[in-house]
Every structure is written in structure tokens, then in C-alpha cells.
Amino acid sequence: MTPTGVPGVVETIEAHGETTLVVDPARIVEACTHLRDAEGFNVLADVCGVDYLGWGEKEVAGYIGTATGRDLNAAGSQGFQRVPEPKPKRLAVVYHLLRVSDDPARVRVKAWLDDGEEIDSVVPVWPAADWNERETYDLFGIVFRGHPNLVRILMPDDWEGHPLRKDYPIGGEPVRFSGEP
């Protein structure tokens, strides 16, 4: 069942049997506290970032599927040219919540951020957010206000850049080979 009356919700999306609540980033703690206390989402399964820089620029080919499987003979089932839906901002922070009880449920909370925009930390709501938010900061450079220890976690402390951003090149780290001067 879709949670209703959550503060700060901008949009509710139902797709693939999953519910996504798009939340105003300024009210993320309020929304998460409500989801924990009123809706019973007691476990924060995951927090991650997504960088949508360059989304839709390649005008990729997608195809239309049906719910029960795809009809290969139907027209346009392959090679149907379309541009993916544009996204409101460059970065997204995605929270996957889980209700561990006799009535299990999952919900995805999403907040859109521009590059350099900050968001409140949800560590006071779920202590489990600690390392997840550090990882998101480390890999995407998203700053979580109020996080008790927001330092790099996977990359070395003196690393420059945030590797999972789309403008961070793969193979960008120069490798020195033996015998090289």
C-alpha cells in the first residue's frame, strides 16, 4: 500500500510494482521520520546516489515491453527510437526503506539535488545511514548536513574528485609501470 500523507512529497511514482516517493530535499528528515514512525519503515536498507549528467543525450533506442513478456512480432518491439524522460536535476539521493514486520513493505524515497546542493543527514532517524551517506559523499560529492563524521570511506582520504560522477573518467588514474623513468 502506498504511504499517504508523508510530509514534503512532491510526486509519487508507481512502476514495476515499486513505489517511489519523490521528496523535497529540504524536508527529507521530516519525511523519513514520518515514514519510520507512522508507516513503520524501521530499516534503512540502502542509501545511494545517482548522477544523471548526460542523461538522454545519446537518444538511445529502447523498446516497448508488455507486462507478461514481449511479443517479438509486434511492431516497434525493437529499435523504437526515443529519448528517456528528462530528469529535474543532476543528482539524486535514493533511500531504500524496508518494513521488517509481519506486513513487510518496501518504499523508495528520492530527493533531487543540483551539483553543490546539500541535504540533511538521516543518521538521527536511522543510525544505519552512517556509512551509506559517507559512501554517497565519497563517490558523488553530495554533502549531508549534520552527519557526525562525513569523511571519505572507500577512497583514500587525500583522493581528489568523486569517482562515480559521470564526468569522472574511467581509467583516469595514471598507472606507473616498472622500468618507467
Partner 1 sequence: MAVMPAKRIYEGTRIPSPCPTILEIDPAKHALEDILTVNFGPNHPSTHGVLRLIVDLDGEEVAGIRAVIGYLHTGFEKSMESKTYWKGITYPERIDYLSFQANELVFVLAIEKLLGIETPEKATWMRMCLSELNRIHSHLVWLGTSALEIGAISMFWYAFRERDMILDLFEMVTGVRMHTRYFQVGGLAEDIPEGFYAQARELARHMPHAVDDYEGLLDRNAIWLERTKGIGLLSAEDAVALGQSGPMLRASGVDWDLRKSAPYLFYDEVDFDVPVYTNGDVYDRYKVHMDEMRASARIVNQCVTRLEELRGTAWIADDRKVVLPPREELHTSMESLIHHFKIVTEGYLVPEGEVYVAIESARGECGCYLVSDGGPKPWRVKFRAPSFAALQATATCVRETLIADLIAVAASLDPVMGDVDR
From residue 7 to residue 26, what is the string marking binding to partner 1 with x (rule CB under 8 A)?
--------xx-x-x------
Q: CB-wise, 9 or 94, nearer to partner 1?
A: 94
Judged by CB under 8 A, does residue 121 bind partner 1? yes
Residue 88 within binding range of partner 1, rule CB under 8 A: no
For residues 5 and 67, which CB has a smaller minimum distance to partner 1 in the complex? Answer: 67
Q: Is 143 in the site for partner 1 (CB under 8 A)?
A: no
Q: Any contact of residue 126 with partner 1 (CB under 8 A)?
A: yes
- Tell me the Ramachandran region of residue 31: left when phi exceeds 0, alpha when psi lies from -120 to 50, beta otherwise: alpha
* Contact flag: residue 40 with partner 1 (CB under 8 A): no
Contact between residue 41 and residue 107 where contact means Cβ atoms under 8 Å apart: yes
- Number of chain residues interacting with partner 1 (CB under 8 A): 65
What 3-state class would DSSP assign to 3? coil
Task: Verify binding: residue 153, partner 1, rule CB under 8 A.
Answer: yes
Sheet with 43-51: strands ordered across: 9-15, 18-23, 105-113, 91-99, 43-51
Residues contributing to the site for partner 1 (CB under 8 A): 15-16, 18, 20, 29, 42-46, 48, 50-52, 55-56, 58, 60-70, 72, 77-78, 82, 84-85, 94, 96, 98, 100, 104, 106, 108, 120-124, 126-128, 130-132, 145-146, 148-149, 152-156, 163-164, 168, 170
